[in-house]
Amino acid sequence: MNTQAPVHPRPTQPPERQPIGFWTARAGEAIRARTRGALHDIGVTQPEWWLLHQISLQPAGADREATIEKIGHNDTPEAIVEALDSARAKGWITESNSRVTFTPEGKEQFRRGADVQQMLQDERMQGISQDEFVTAIQVLQRTIQNVGGDAWHW
């Protein structure tokens, strides 16, 4: 485990004197940019990925409105509606009686996206133990609560 701070071209304050808001914002930006770029390379937007992932969890089909409600907070509900429309236009999903299911092409696109997501997770976890990761998530959750925020992730 590497506990030394990374070397930067400019001096920085020790971690205990640095703002958590700055680092969480920069981490979010970096993760989103990397994730969106890798998904783009296989022709998937991040909202489309969220949709494909949710459908993968519902073998009998995902309820359209429940899916929008569940993952809409990741971006906006409108972004999820656009992802539904786009995935249908690309031939990845079908919709019947408010149930959204994969087409064979959609299952294949989900598999490709899942492979990309696993590669990205492996990349993000380099040099980070599972315990460190869990601690980081718990610290961020507690920080949100401490400042009166309300965040939830399925």
Whether 32 is in a domain gets the answer no
Reference 51, options 38, 63, 60; nearest CA is 63
Whether 13 is in a domain gets the answer no
- The count of domains in the chain is 1
Whether 139 is in a domain gets the answer no
Domain enclosing residue 97, as ranges: 42-124
- Confidence band for 15, pLDDT divided at 50, 70 and 90: confident
Whether 89 is in a domain gets the answer yes
Above 90 in pLDDT, residue 2? Answer: no
% of the chain exceeding 90 in pLDDT: 83
CATH value at residue 66: 1.10.10.10
Span 50-74, pLDDT tens digits: 999 999 999 899 999 999 999 999 9
Question: Long-range pairs for 105-112 at CB < 8 Å and ≥24 separation?
Answer: 106/52, 106/55, 109/42, 109/43, 109/44, 109/52, 110/52, 110/53, 110/55, 110/56, 112/42, 112/44
Span 69-85, pLDDT tens digits: 999 999 999 999 999 99
Whether 56 is in a domain gets the answer yes
